[in-house]
Every structure is written in C-alpha cells, then in structure tokens.
Amino acid sequence: MKNFLYTVLLSLIVASCAPGGEQTHKIEDLENFLALVEEENKKDGPVIYSASWISSNFITYDSQKVIADYGTRYTLKSLERSRQASNFDNLDTSPENKRMLSILKSSFVMPPPLDKTLASELSQISTGLEAMYGTGEYCYEDGACYDLEAFESIIDNSRDPDELLKAWKGWHEIGKPMKPMYMRMVEIGNEGSKDLGYEGLSDLWFSKYDMPADEFLDETDRVWEEVKPLYDALHCHVRAKLNDYYGDEIVSESGPLPVHLLGNMWGQSWSNIYDLVYTEESNSNSVDVTKIIADKNINEIQMVEYAEDFFISIGFDPLPETFWERSLFVKPRDRSVVCHASAWNLDPANNDLRIKMCIERNEEDFITIHHELGHIFYYQAYNHLPTLFQGGANDGFHEAFGDLLTLSITPDYLTKIDFISEEQANIAKEDPIGLLMKQALEGVVVVPWALMLDKWRSGVFNGDIKEDELNTLWWQLREEYQGIGTSDDRTEEYFDPGAKYHIPGNTPYTRYYLARIMQYQFHEALCNQINFDGYLHECSIYGNKDAGEKIISTMAMGESLPWQDAFENITGSRKLSGTSILNYYAPLKEWLDEQNQDRVCGWN
C-alpha cells in the first residue's frame, strides 16, 4: 500500500511539473483541485487524528509505529497538495481561493522533502521524541524513579533549595538523548521548507501571520518593549522576597533568579511562590480555590463541568455527549500517557471534540480546564467552515480565547458559582494587590518566556545557533529576556530545551506570546462593550450574552479571513498593543514601584 501511494504521488509530481503545465490551469482546474482537497481532508483527517490520539494515550511500541506510518503517508500527501497549489499562483481567482492556496502552502510545522525515506525518518524522529518526553523519568542510585508529575510535585510544593535543585536537575536529564535526534529533525525540516519555496524553517514558521515575517517579528519586539517595565518591576520584587527567604548565598540581590526556586519546572509561572512574594496581612483574605475544591469534594469531571457552564452562560451550545465519553480526564494507572493538557478536534464533521489531561484537583488545573475548553468551543464555532478554514485566525487566537476566560475567574464569578460568599468576595476585592499579584505571577511572567523560546528555536533553524552551543545560548537568552539562570553548570552535555514539551513536540510557541498580549486586549474591549464600571481586573463576562455574541462571531470566522479582520471584530483595532495588559495591572505596577524604591533592579 505504501509503495502504491508513493508511486501515485510521484506520478502527480511529474504531471504537475510538466512543461507548460502552469499555463494550462484554469479556474475550473483550481475549483476541482480544492474540492478534491476538501474531500480528502474530511476522509484523512479523522484517521490521522485518531491514530495520534491512540499514540498519546497508549504509549507502546506498536502505537508509535502506527502513528509514524500514518504520519509519513499523510505528510507525503500534504506535501504534494502544497506543490500542486503552487501551480495556481498566477491564476486570477477569488480572495477566498487565494487564501485556501496560501494555507495549503504554509500548513507545515516540520516538513520533509517529498522523499519517502526522509519523510519516514522525520516521522519516526518526531514520534520518538514525543514518546521520550511522555515516558520520561529519571532514576537515582537508590532505585527511586520519578516522572514529570513526581518531579513537578516537588518543584511546586517544596521550599528546600537542595531538594528543589535535585528535582529540577533530575527531570532535565531526559533531554540529553534528544539532542542528536532534534538536530537531525531540524536538518530534514529545513530541506523540506526550502522545497516548498521558503528560505528555511524559520521563514516558514513566521510566514503565517498575514504580513511579512520581518515586519511581524518587529511587532512582537515592539509590544514586548511596552510590557517590559511591568515585568522588570515584578522581577525586582520577587528577587528581593526570595533573597529575604533564602539568603544571599542562594539568591543574589542583583543577579538572575534561580530557576529551581520559582515553583515551576521551567520558570514560566511563579504562582506557586505567591505566599513568599506577597506576605501582607491581607494575604490571608485571598481566595484559595484549591482548598475550595477539596472542601466541596469536587471531582475532576465536575471541574470540567464548571468550565463548560461558563461558556454556556455566555451563549455557547453545550458540549456533545461524546466529549464526556471519549475525553481523558484522569491519569490512567495501567499505562503511560502524554499528560500535557491538550484539546482535540478529531472529526469536525461529527463534532468529535475531546480534551486529554491528567487533571489534578487544584486551582492551577481549574484554570487550565477553562483554557482547554476555550480551544474546544473555538473548534465547535468554526467546524461548519471548509476544512482549510478550520483554524484560529492566527495560531495565537486559539490560546488567547482560552486565556481570555481565565481573566473572568474573579471573586464575583466565584460567588456566582457558589465557591465563595459575597462577603468573602468583598473581602478579597479589598486587597486588589493580592489578586493582581497572583495573576501576574502567571500572566505577566510567561510573556518573555514565550517570546524567548521561539527566538532560540529560530536561531537553531536558521543556523545562527550552532549544535555545539545549543544549551549555552538557551541560557543566555533566558537570562537576557527573563532574568532567570541556574546555579548548576549546564554544559553542552545537556539539552535543557528538550525538557519542555513544546521543543520535542514541535509546537510553535509564539502563539502563546500573542495570546498573552491579545487576551488582555480582548478582555478590555469586551468589558468596555458591556459598559463595565470598575477596575479592569474586577470585570467578569460570565453570564453576559453580548460579550458571548462578540466572541462567538469572531470564533466563527475561523481562518477564513486575515487575522487582523477577526482581531478588529472583537477589539475595534487592527494592531497589537501592550497597553491593555498595563491597564489591567496598573494598581500592581504602582505598588511595585513603591516597594522597589530602595532596591537594585535589573540583573547582571
């Protein structure tokens, strides 16, 4: 079967590259081609996604072999579609058809050349790297073995610096064997990108934003410069508080923050050290959602039901029964799974929507569930469109809509769902700094991390970062953008980027940067539209159908129009801006500036 398919594809290449072939294509040819693509997408998509679902939920030799085989065949067919799409570049056709052709040509993340051997090798490397991450564990000399969840439990909860460093180092051991595989994957991907007409992977990745790649990257840097003073003020305060707690020998008063002390394996969120960095007496009045979940004995399924209720309250249709029957909510005891939370649109025609998540009964996962359902309801909103338009307006939109709802998890919202009383909500609102600090330790902290990660990856793709300096420049960029470092000597023996899922999993990360900026612009625009009168951080759109209609109408556009059109539909603007995030955290920034008056800020 594989040889037959490959023979067919080669014959298509020959036909599409025949002399004079480009001049003979007509509108009718294009419409027939797009109709064929639509038919094949509806047939092939559910099959490849089902195979991928199995490979993530049943990590075995056979499941990895199946997805590698399916992935190879699907990729080869998709590559040929892209090459055929190029034959219509000079054809005068509708904007809709031109957009479909553009999406077809830029739909890859890691394309191989149209070569069976290289496509198979790339597929095997990709699935192998994901499996290495999903089954990753480190065993100590005493025989004790820890996987990511076990190590994260220590990082999230311990205050012992030696124990924290040991756990951090243990998980990062998994990256070592990934390095040669990752670099080989990049080599093949660059070759495939050039075959598609791009300069390489970096050019391919940043060509998907309806504007020149250089102009887009300039925009991301411009917005970061707007947000940076807020991050710098937060960094300065957090470092001072960690220095108070751990002392000068562990936390310098002027250097980078030690990554293992930040309450998160990657230092991308500092929310787990909230109690160390905000120690005001009123801190005791903050809302502890984890405790509420435990006190109310809310189980994992019920946590998802609360998130679904939010979307229903603003006008979305309930999720189909198959979502509840087929999703993974709790980590199985009998097998290895990829526990990284994700949302799945397996069969759009039949609304087969699922999440895959090893839910923990805590506040962090309560928020994450709202985020993942943001993806699910986005799928549901645009699944009526042609398959080529079934996507976010840009890849940041999907993350932004998920994150948007988390900004509405306010004391007033928690009152409406009977988590707390009105009196408790009023008490919590008396301390806006405590509320904003808790959010900023995640929502602001992640911004430079999200920007830096793809800057490193782009440097690897285009060759600016060489194989013998992968880890060194990883940490240089982390210090430059985040002011984060490690007390451990991280030589080129290590491959610390591999300890973050999105590197071996080949998930572009700029989407998360865009999402963090856009979610605050979305939130401010919606709160203005519903005439909310009060501090921006107190606004919740829960139960507001007008806000829901604006969200649903934007989601329903899918990828059918340039992202600026969808952005304008919900915000009234076509331009990214850091102003909304600054407006949201304005009371916190003022407080931080007062706290930091006699401190040395910045880092060496």
Residues belonging to the active site: 340-341, 371-372, 375, 399, 502, 512
Q: Three-class SS of residue 115? A: coil
Pairing between strand 352-356 and 342-347?
antiparallel
Query: Cβ(196)–Cβ(82) under 8 Å?
Result: yes
Query: Positive or negative, the Cα torsion across 492, 456, 74, 376?
Result: positive
The identity of residue 109, as a single letter, is: V
CA-to-CA dists, residue 144 to 136, 141, 154, 156, 200, angstroms? 14, 7, 14, 19, 43
| 197 vs 204: CA distance, rounded Å | 9
Return the ∠ at Cα 343 (arms to 154 and 151), rounded to 5°.
10
Measured between alpha carbons, how far is 582 from 359 in angstroms, rounded to an integer?
Answer: 32
CB 594 within 8 A of CB 546: no
Contact 510, 450 (CB under 8 A): yes
Q: Yes or no: say if 370 and 310 are a contact pair by the CB < 8 Å rule.
A: yes
CA Rg value for the chain: 24
How many whole angstroms separate alpha carbon 188 and alpha carbon 524? 43
List strand residue ranges (DSSP E) for 177-285, in order. Answer: 257-258
CA-based max dimension of the chain:
78
DSSP 8-state symbol, 585:
T
Q: Are 413 and 254 in contact (CB under 8 A)?
A: no
Count CA atoms within 13 Å of residue 295 on its CB side: 9
Q: Which SS3 state, helix, strand or coil, does residue 500 take?
A: coil
Q: What are the Cα distances from residue 380, in Å, to 95, 318, 356, 406, 541?
A: 25, 10, 17, 19, 20
SS3 365: helix
